Amino acid sequence: MTKTHKGPELLGRKAALPASPDEAELDLVANPHPSETYLVRFVAPEFTSLCPVTGQPDFAHIVIDYAPAEWLVESKSLKLYLSSYRNHGAFHEDCTLRIAKDLVAALAPRWLRIGGYWYPRGGIPIDVFWQTGAPPQGLWLPDQGVPSYRGRG
């Protein structure tokens, strides 16, 4: 479980890159509009992790959408958390779902979905999708905007 802070502990100060997701910390800030149903989107187009078998780097475009309840995740802490996967060995499915489940555990959002659009390794791109359930009624839910992999052609 990723450590959380209620309040911006990392914002405004120098913070080292965590060595792994287990060492990462997420800062939570109070949602100024907890009674509203709205979507927050974070996009990490240059996410990296390591293959747990070969140690070779894997690359992904990660899109995180969530409908907050009482808490928001502070963006600097999320950036550091996502960067902590850089030297972490795990399969695509594990990375994608762990990110989502760590955020759900920290935020208790009304709803969350993640799209992990992984670049090909061995000629096969892997896309991983997960969500907590049906989105809340009335939530504007735009497309994640990441086209299917088409190669260089």
* pTM of this structure: 0.93
Q: What are the backbone dihedrals phi and psi of residue 93, each rounded to the nearest 5 degrees, phi first? A: -65, -40
Which residues does 60 contact at the CB level (< 8 Å), separation at least 6? 44, 47, 48, 49, 92, 95, 96, 116, 117, 118, 119
Pick the CATH number of 3-11+19-131 from 3.20.20.70, 3.30.1130.10, 3.30.530.20, 3.30.1330.20: 3.30.1130.10
Residue 30, strand partner residues: 71
Strands 3-6 and 71-73: unpaired
Query: Does 74 appear as a known binding residue?
Result: yes
Is 70 annotated to bind a ligand? Reply is no
Nearest by Cα to 28 from 3, 10, 11, 7 = 7
Query: Tens place of pLDDT for every residue, the chain, 153 residues?
Result: 577 767 777 777 888 999 999 999 999 999 999 999 999 999 999 999 999 999 999 999 999 999 999 999 999 999 999 999 999 999 999 999 999 999 999 999 999 999 999 999 888 899 999 999 999 999 999 999 898 877 654
The residues that are catalytic are 51, 58
Residue 93 in marked binding region: yes
